């Protein structure tokens, strides 16, 4: 076992093993690939964020005075495309997951290391292509690319953007294949399925969604391109097609996609909460089953995006019922986190602040999802800011907070240095406050009738918009701060011990940063996960 705070030698440190750019760009090490992902994900996040900043500036006044209508359409399209496909979907699985999945199961790497590198190149290639399309003028169809506007009327670079997304999709399929085979076949001796960390369960279920849903998107985007290029008519009612066919196919992927985004976030929360409550996760098995249930039922609810688009009332009823059902396993998870917290000895470290923020904001976002899943309420609320607020509560209040929480939690392990804890807590609180100020007014706006994707609005909505834009500037600070102090800690942060948080989990038994092959000898697992409040609880900082 390595000494904790001494400088880790070159042979024992994946970061120092090879310092050339080439060694990074041709690496097979899942930890390096994870870092490559995290760097590129961060870049895309700020590009997508820049689009959002421009939108919020524009929306501070009722008139369309900052950008033209067409430009505004392009802004929200590129914001959505980049945030969904180039940030949210890869962030936790390909960023944190690539690093942690092999380590959490006691493996030396993922099942297919070279495929892992290929998936990063596909991601960067597709992402760059999309950014180039953006610079060339972008698309204005919304990230949902609805026909017939995208196929017949839009005069923007739709096909370029589609192609970028198409390529990035293959990146996530490869990650999914890698994770599934890894979890099935590379678990250490004694690590049965029900001893796995919930982060592993979450990414496993996410991978199943990735491999089954993403190909449907790929074909749907191809069909869209064919319709646009050849005018074949599958989505054009005048030619015998059906625009709703596009929506069915698109949402068949895009609804499970939101579970691709939120399940890994739930996995992160399930790692952080027991650690900073010093308690086992309450109801471990139900948490694992709930993850699977969310993944499976999540495939059956996509029609709730189509309640007012012409879908039959009977199908809408069915989708509404199924959407209510999918809330049940999510609620079980929230209850179990709360039950884990109850009676624990809580430490409000930065990762815990993010995780607690997740629990509250995800709950609110989820409840508003139930409102939207109610057919009659949705007739009023669909395509308003209520929907925008709902999904940002889950995606930003939920997934982004969990991602940041995970980054902070595993930062010492990944980088081998600790970040400044006070700044971590400040940034978490600023982000939480800024987030709520940005998005809570949007629930009110939507309820009052403000449509989404509009840049001009009646004066009576301005107060809420101004509050939202003010919140956005605070939220931006909340995101820029970690960029600052985490970068600082790369060079100046104090060296980390192997287990600064006294957490359970195989990843914490290695040095910080870990050696290139993770474990000198394959560990043997003899106890359940989250062995806090037991004799195996790591009570002292592991030296």
Binding site for another protein (CB under 8 A): 102, 107-113, 115, 152-157, 159, 173, 176-178, 180-181, 184-186, 208, 211-216, 218-220, 223, 226, 228-234, 236-242, 244-245, 248-249, 252, 299-300, 302-303, 310-315, 318-319
Nearer to another protein, 241 or 329 (CB): 241
Nearer to another protein, 60 or 325 (CB): 325
Choose among 25, 175, 195: nearest CA to 110.
175
What is the distance between the alpha carbons of residues 45 and 365, in angstroms, rounded to a whole number? 21
- Yes or no: say if 411 and 489 are a contact pair by the CB < 8 Å rule: yes
Buried b (16+ CB within 10 A) or exposed e, 125-148: ebbbbbbebbeeebbbbbbbbbbb
For residue 53, the minimal CB distance to another protein (Å) is 27
Residue with tokens 């030698």: 9
For residue 181, the minimal CB distance to another protein (Å) is 5
Nearer to another protein, 113 or 125 (CB): 113
* Intra-chain end-to-end CA distance of the chain, in Å: 9
> SS3 breakdown of the chain: % helix, strand, coil, rounded to 5?
70, 0, 30
Token representation of residue 290:
């709930």
For residue 506, the minimal CB distance to another protein (Å) is 15
Nearer to another protein, 97 or 471 (CB): 97
Nearer to another protein, 216 or 371 (CB): 216
Report in angstroms the alpha-carbon separations of 326 from 297, 329, 330.
6, 6, 7
Nearer to another protein, 317 or 328 (CB): 317
What is the distance between the alpha carbons of residues 248 and 238, in angstroms, rounded to a whole number? 19
Nearer to another protein, 211 or 377 (CB): 211
What is the distance between the alpha carbons of residues 536 and 413, in angstroms, rounded to a whole number? 20
Token representation of residue 503:
């957490």
For residue 163, the minimal CB distance to another protein (Å) is 11
For residue 113, the minimal CB distance to another protein (Å) is 7
For residue 38, the minimal CB distance to another protein (Å) is 21
DSSP-derived 3-state class of residue 61: coil
Nearer to another protein, 140 or 271 (CB): 140
For residue 93, the minimal CB distance to another protein (Å) is 15
What is the distance between the alpha carbons of residues 251 and 198, in angstroms, rounded to a whole number? 27
Residue with tokens 């907070």: 401
Nearer to another protein, 155 or 535 (CB): 155
Angle at 182 between CA 334 and CA 124, to 5 degrees: 85
What is the distance between the alpha carbons of residues 264 and 204, in angstroms, rounded to a whole number? 9
Strand partners, 384: 451
Instruction: Determine the distance from the C-alpha atom of residue 100 to the mean position of all C-alpha atoms in its chain, rounded to a whole number.
Output: 16
Nearer to another protein, 272 or 306 (CB): 306
For residue 84, the minimal CB distance to another protein (Å) is 19
Buried b (16+ CB within 10 A) or exposed e, 342-375: eebeeeebbbbbbbbbbbbbbbbbbebbbebbeb
For residue 223, the minimal CB distance to another protein (Å) is 7
For residue 196, the minimal CB distance to another protein (Å) is 18
For residue 395, the minimal CB distance to another protein (Å) is 24
- To 10 degrees, what angle do helices 158-185 and 69-81 make? 10
- Yes or no: say if 172 and 94 are a contact pair by the CB < 8 Å rule: yes
- Yes or no: say if 408 and 424 are a contact pair by the CB < 8 Å rule: yes
Nearer to another protein, 187 or 413 (CB): 187
Burial class (CB in 10 A: 0-12, 13-18, 19+), 89: buried
Token representation of residue 16:
């120092």
Nearer to another protein, 154 or 382 (CB): 154
For residue 170, the minimal CB distance to another protein (Å) is 9
């Amino acid at each position: 076992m390595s000494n904790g705070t001494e400088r880790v030698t070159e042979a024992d440190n994946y970061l120092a093993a090879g310092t050339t750019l080439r060694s990074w760009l041709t690496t097979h090490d899942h930890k390096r690939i994870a870092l490559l992902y995290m760097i590129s994900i961060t870049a895309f996040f700020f590009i997508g964020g820049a689009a959002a900043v421009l939108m919020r500036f524009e929306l501070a006044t009722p008139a369309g005075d900052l950008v033209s209508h067409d430009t505004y359409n392009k802004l929200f399209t590129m914001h959505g495309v980049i945030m969904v496909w180039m940030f949210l979907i890869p962030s936790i699985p390909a960023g944190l997951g690539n690093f942690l999945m092999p380590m959490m199961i006691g493996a030396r790497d993922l099942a297919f290391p070279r495929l892992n590198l290929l998936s990063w190149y596909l991601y960067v290639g597709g992402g760059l292509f999309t950014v180039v399309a953006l610079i060339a003028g972008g698309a204005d169809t919304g990230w949902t690319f609805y026909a017939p506007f995208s196929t017949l009327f839009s005069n923007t670079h739709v096909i370029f953007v589609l192609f970028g997304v198409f390529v990035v999709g293959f990146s996530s399929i490869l990650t999914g294949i890698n994770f599934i085979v890894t979890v099935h076949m590379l678990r250490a001796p004694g690590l049965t399925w029900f001893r796995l960390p919930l982060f592993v369960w979450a990414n496993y279920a996410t991978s199943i969604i990735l491999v089954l849903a993403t190909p449907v998107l790929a074909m749907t985007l191809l069909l869209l391109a064919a319709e646009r290029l050849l005018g074949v008519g599958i989505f054009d009612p005048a030619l015998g097609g059906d625009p709703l066919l596009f929506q069915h196919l698109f949402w068949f992927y895009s609804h499970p996609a939101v579970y691709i985004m939120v399940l890994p976030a739930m996995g992160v929360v399930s790692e952080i909460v027991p650690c900073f409550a010093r308690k086992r996760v309450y109801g471990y098995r139900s948490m694992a089953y709930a993850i699977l249930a969310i993944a499976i039922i999540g495939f059956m609810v996509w029609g709730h995006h189509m309640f007012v688009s012409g879908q039959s009332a009977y199908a809408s009823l069915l989708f509404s019922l199924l959407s209510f059902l999918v809330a049940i396993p999510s609620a079980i998870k929230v209850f179990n986190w709360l039950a884990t917290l109850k009676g624990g000895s809580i430490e409000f470290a930065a990762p815990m602040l993010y995780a607690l923020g997740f629990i509250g904001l995800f709950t609110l976002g989820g409840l508003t999802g139930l409102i939207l899943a109610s057919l009659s309420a949705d007739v009023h609320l669909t395509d308003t800011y209520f929907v925008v607020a709902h999904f940002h509560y889950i995606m930003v209040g939920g997934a982004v907070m969990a991602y940041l929480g995970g980054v902070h939690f595993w930062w010492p392990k990944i980088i081998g240095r600790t970040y400044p804890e006070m700044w971590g807590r400040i940034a978490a609180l600023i982000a939480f406050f800024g987030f709520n100020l940005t998005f809570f007014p949007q629930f009110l706006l939507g309820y009052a009738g403000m449509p989404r994707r509009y840049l001009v609005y009646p004066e009576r909505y301005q107060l809420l918009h101004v509050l939202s834009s003010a919140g956005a500037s605070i939220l931006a600070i909340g995101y820029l701060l970690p960029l600052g102090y985490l970068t600082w800690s790369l060079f100046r942060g104090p060296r980390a011990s192997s287990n600064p948080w006294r957490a359970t989990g195989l990843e914490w038994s290695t040095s910080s940063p870990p050696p290139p092959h993770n474990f000198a000898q394959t560990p043997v697992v003899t106890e359940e996960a989250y062995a806090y409040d037991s004799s195996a609880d790591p009570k002292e900082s592991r030296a």
